[in-house]
Amino acid sequence: MPRVSLDKSTHYINRESSWLAFNRRVLEEAQDPTNPLLERVKFLAITASNLDEFVEIRVAGLLQRIEDGYTESGIDGLTPQEEADLLAPQLHDFVRDQYACWNEQLRPALAENGVHVLHLRDLDAEAREFAVQYCERELDPLLTPVTVDPAHPFPRVINKALCQAVLLRRRRKSSTNYMGVITVPRALPRLIRLPDGPDGAIRYIPLSELVAAHAAQMYRGYDIISEAAFRITRNSNLYLQEEESRNLLESVRTELHNRRKGDAVRLEIEADAHPEIVERLRSTFELQEWQVFRTDAPAISLRKCESATSCCITPTTRTNRWWLSSRRRPKIRTCFRSSRRCIAPMRIPPSWKR
């Protein structure tokens, strides 16, 4: 049999494409209707968390090599630029399938079982009053609106923070549009629990919708043309010079702090965002077209949708058809368990006990 050469690039699969294929296998678990509902929501949140880490580490490192001018091909025969061209459509397809799973499968299934993630327009009078009170008590003291103009530069947006972009126009000078940015603190939950419905249904509303509704109260003297929630993912790689560093621990601590302020790698924004908002954000963060991801859910980050199921994980619901409890799983006899019965206990000679 002739010896196969290992130098051919056709014998190798791209590492990043292989990782995306693995994450798609996790997404298939979320799409599988035979899995318990809450487990499917958790699988979807895992894919979102995995994708965040993939973008801020692997994709960011790839873009860094392109910026540094690396043109050598890897073992799979792809240069860094060719690898980026290969990953771009795969990433967009995966994100589209993620939000399709949430909007078309999981969210309706949760609603059928009494857990509703509502839009602001769907709220009744009681829920609207609660939303107004929440904005006045919880949101207003924590939010700081910024208007971007020559005297006020674009604010520093930390890694993966929920933000609200607002396209403004002064009421006196209606010829110029301004950009407003509201950064939402991480301490606030991304899904706000509303009072239960008349039939006892559990109801949530995305935090981004409450921020958008409250924006008019924070930008007095402006007309709001359009607004959209967005999120920036930054380069989170650690760049250490171990030989030149006097204190390695201090260098690691500094790099961990700088991870929140690395170069922008991805922009996630609502699908119906105004084109001017998208273009201003893209030029501000110096992103290419393929680095802009339009999402079909107002919560922006699907990893936060898992919080909608926290109210269901109780002793009374853990054993129902939503959640597969470990207490109800049948005990499986393994070869190791059977071998323990066949092995006789070893007797210790009396002389060894001295």
Question: Would you say residue 270 lies in a domain?
Answer: yes
pLDDT, averaged in runs of 10, over the chain (354 residues)? 74 90 96 93 94 93 90 88 94 95 93 90 92 92 88 87 92 82 90 88 92 90 91 80 59 59 89 93 94 81 77 45 43 54 56 55
Please give the pLDDT value at position 23.
96
Domain range for 216: 9-240+248-322
Buried b or exposed e, range 11-23, using 16+ CB within 10 angstroms: eeebebeeebeeb
The alpha carbon torsion through 208, 214, 215, 219 (nearest 10 deg) reads: -160
Please give the pLDDT value at position 329.
46
Question: Would you say residue 336 lies in a domain?
Answer: no
- Taking Cα atoms as reference points, which of 55, 57, 46, 59 lies closest to residue 101? 46
Question: Would you say residue 164 lies in a domain?
Answer: yes
Question: Would you say residue 315 lies in a domain?
Answer: yes
Please give the pLDDT value at position 308.
72
Question: Would you say residue 206 lies in a domain?
Answer: yes
Residue 343 DSSP label: S
Question: Would you say residue 328 lies in a domain?
Answer: no
Alpha carbon 341 to chain centroid, angstroms: 49
What is the total count of domains within the chain? 1
User: Which domain CATH number covers 142?
Assistant: 3.30.1840.10
- The token duo for 308 is 């909608």
Whether the full predicted model's pTM is greater than 0.95, yes or no, is no
d(CA 95, CA 233): 14
The SS3 of residue 231 is strand
Please give the pLDDT value at position 245.
55
State pLDDT tens for residues 161-182.
Answer: 999 999 998 887 677 888 999 9
Question: Would you say residue 200 lies in a domain?
Answer: yes
Question: Would you say residue 105 lies in a domain?
Answer: yes
